[in-house]
Structure 1
Amino acid sequence: MSLSPDAVRSALAQVIDPHVQTDLVSAQSVRGVGVDGGKVAVELQLAYPAASWHETLAAQVRQVVGALPGVEAVTVAIGTRISAHRVQKDLTPLPEVKNIIAVASGKGGVGKSTTAVNLALALAAEGAQVGILDADIHGPSIPMMLGLQGKPESPDGKNIQPKLSHGLQAMSIGLFLGEDTPTIWRGPMTTQYLQQLLTTTLWQGLDYLIIDLPPGTGDIQLTLAQRVPVSAAIIVTTPQDIALLDAKKALKMFEKVEVPVLGIVENMAVHVCSNCGHAEHVFGAGGGEKMAAQYGVPLLGSLPLDIAIREQADAGAPTVVAQPESDIARSYRSIARQAAARLSQQAKNKSIAFPNIVIQNT
């Protein structure tokens, strides 16, 4: 019996995509199958960026397809097609921005901004076009973390160009202020400025815009939820009970305004002594996992309490770019892939019809 495309597709149905927890065929990731005698060509298209996983995926495909009778050679091409996804009712996506992901926490001091920056860099490292907006008007930290200096330029006196750093497009009120200049504004002025910063920045071809929110559930968070087209949110917490208590409030806020929560990131989960290797759960253990189970959202990953994360962010080169092959950087990239994959399973926004397609031979 001669080899058929249907037989190849049946074999591909045995390959599970761990990021969406289903097989390639059910996930509609198989774009094409070609059979020429004993030669088989498989074209896959993922709906989320996962460059660091492509080779592993290609190897799995070659293994299962290569085991079919009559197969002599298997070539695999993997592409990425990132779509715009549905936002809150009555809102439409921003021009040049397919998806906005809010990174939030209930309280300060949990490493939310550091996590937001590293996740943005991780998405970019996985193959997406990414921007980051510092929405912490009163405590902007993104400029330092990305090593940004100087005020943004304006081509027309009305709009502003985002700053570029490590492949990210970035914007923050901190770029317009000195390091020791406080933002002494009341709520309405703060929210108005945030909207202006978001809409007058000339973002260019972004698959994802990460918004680093200030802690809490106040004016800025409410403005974002009601007036900014957000596709989804990620909650950052530590295992500490008091941090979890506030993180739950942030999660419930997004639920009430109908913004899907992609999952929870547990920061500072464990500290490993650099001298003796002893591991200690300084802020408690298992809190993020319990919260995820309680609210039916995934725990996207746990990150350690490590001095290198702080030092690298302070130096303007966060871990994902400073030590891209480190275990911590791999954790950030894993979290980024899982979050993007979760978003890819949500309903699409059809007002943006033709996303970019990138094919990579593997």
Structure 2
Amino acid sequence: MSFIKLVLFLFFLNTGCEKSNNNIPEVEKKTIPSIGDRDFREDMRSFVIGLSAHAKAQNSDFSIIPQNGIELVTKSGSAEGSPSKKYLEAIDGNGQENLFYGYKRDNVATEKEVTDYNVGLLKVSQEYGNSIFVIDYCSSEDKIEDAYTQNYNLGFIPFVATERDLTLIPTVPTKLNKLTSRDVSSLDDAENFLFILNYEDYDTKNELLNEIGNSNYDVVFLDMFFNDGTPFSKLNIEKLKTKPDGGQRLVMCYMSIGEAEDYRYYWDSDWDKNEPVWLDKENKNWKGNFKVRYWEEEWQNIIYGNEDAYLDKILSTGFDGVYLDIIDAFEYFENYDE
């Protein structure tokens, strides 16, 4: 194991987006059917390629953006490896957390070795024409400015969150503020984005939608469901696509494909007693999130390919793309001890 991979294994975050986790949690062992000798990385690539093909068959402009798990862009998982061409062609961007700040703790610089490792792989994706969206976690003014500056220097699109729960629409430093009323019709046009997943500070959908709508972000990433579990309507999403001064923007939807969430519409209460074979242990870091055997057909059918599937609901609601979380679930199974 290389030094950098050792660093990544030992120090993987114990934090992340509230609905995201790029950790490999310790889990209790459970008697389940053998997973056999699988290539878990290739399984995830195939999953993403399949859902991408399905989405783009309905809307050729629909964007697919995996978060973390950047090792999938090459066959070896290193920047020097051969590119995974089919995977790179199936996606339109990559999301990366904690590139410069927040890897071990918020408002603390990420170790240079980790940053360099991730930058190398992100550049592979970027060279294939994919947009790179980076979420850094810091709150000090000097560090916020540094995070924006370093990302812009690499041609990456930054969002600096001052709190880990992603409940706020933060203020961008004046001298680095690229928020304008210009039209954004594709990811190539974007220079900034808003990432807001938790709506606990908002009493109504209209309050949330009005605040987002009054901002000038080029791309908005949000969850499809409000606090009460009801989804946003197609009209809600269509209105968000227009900036205050009339410019157009893109609106993307968050969706986890590496874990099942017991607060989602698809959750069957019967699973508490009769677990499907694809359902694994609960993630101890995030209550209500369960690891899944994402290569299993039953789980993939929940995600895409039919009227009631998650991705298909996102498509029918009029989102411009999907932001895929827990792509790095392959690491959980690579370290799984049956």
* TM-based fold match above 0.5: no
TM-score, normalising length: structure 2: 0.36
Whichever of the two has the greater Rg, that structure is 1
Q: As a proportion of its length, which structure holds more strand?
A: 1
TM-score, normalising length: structure 1: 0.34
* Higher RCO, 1 vs 2 (CA within 8 Å, ≥6 residues apart): 1
